[in-house]
Amino acid sequence: MKKNIALLTGGYSEEFEISVKSGKVVAGHLDHSLFNIFLIRVTENKWIHYAEDNLESEVNLNDFTLNIHGKKIIFDAALIVIHGTPGEDGKIQGYLDMMKVPYNTCGRATSSLTFNKFFCNEVAGSLGVHVAKTFYLHKRDEVRTDEILNFTGLPCFVKPNSNGSSIGISKVKQAADLLPAIKRSFDVDSETLIQQFVPGTEVTCGIYEKNGKLVVLPLTQIISHKEWFDYEAKYTDGLADEITPAPIGETLAAECREISAMLYRKLNCRGIVRFDYILTEPSFTDGSRFFFLEVNTIPGLSEASIVPRQAASVGISLKQLFTDVLNETMNHY
């Protein structure tokens, strides 16, 4: 018997449109011989299912069901494809836990932790992974630019503590630009991080679980044609090169895969997760050259996104990838 899958997209962050795009791609590549797919767009006010006949049905959030043409639809699992809140920060996971519905992502505690960049960096650092020096600010705090720059140095990055797709991030080269950058970040989030600049190239590693074993995908090296890999570079064709597998040599690649697998297990991750790093120069560090940037617990899943390309490089189709993830989801519970 086919399983009923609630495919959740949308959300209520600046990444709404990216989430909708990812959701459509996932819906198009799921195995419809195994799953009945119900595409549901999540907003702050309501969750709506859009059927092929243009019928709109509102999800009953009291029991997480749909009523379509008088028939009650009970879901066997949820496939969360919502970048940003409420998909990556643990909110939907907490709701689905209460509804006792299996889902494909990290649990609510891990999602909440990893969405908070400062907390996640602290945990990664405690596990022996290199992280950039980070100065934390809350909107209520007094901003002392001299104190901040004495700690981080210049250049530095200013970023919202809880956001994705590089929204609200600035690279600061001069002291006079720090305060405006902090104000821009506070427009996005009430918490801001000012981080030491780590020179190097960005590499990223995708991981998921199949039959209880980790599948660690080939690394991707990201070379931005802008000064750094900002929102425009991420989503505009031709502004960045994403090279898979990353041409960094097998010794370094194996080290990065090992770090990523360790973090996946220690952070208690589930589903498709992507770990981002800066591979710095040997002169910058006396140990590992990999500096942890962040965890993406719901990475982009369109054909052009990094993890699907990593999977394709080793012969894993999107259909197979999503089927593996859904099967693992239902086996986990």
Q: What is the pLDDT of residues 194-233, one digit of tens each?
A: 999 999 999 999 999 999 999 999 999 998 776 655 555 4
Q: Residues of the chain whose pLDDT is less than 50?
A: 233, 235
CB contact at 8 A, 245 and 253: yes
The rounded distance, in Å, linking the Cα atoms of 28 and 22 is 10
Length of the chain equals 333
CATH number of the domain located at residue range(s) 112-131+199-332 in this protein: 3.30.470.20
Cα–Cα distance, 66 to 212 (Å, whole number): 31
How far out from the chain centre does Cα 293 lie? 12
CA gyration radius, the chain = 20
Q: What is the pLDDT of residue 232?
A: 52
Domain ranges of the chain: 3-104, 112-131+199-332, 134-196
pLDDT, position 239? 65
Topology of domain 3-104 in CATH is Rossmann fold (3.40.50)
Rounded-to-integer distance, Cα 217 and Cα 214, Å: 9
| DSSP-derived 3-state class of residue 107 | coil
Q: How far apart are CA 16 and CA 21, in angstroms?
A: 9
- Quickly tell me which residue has 């942890």 as its tokens: 292
CATH architecture of 134-196: 2-Layer Sandwich (3.30)
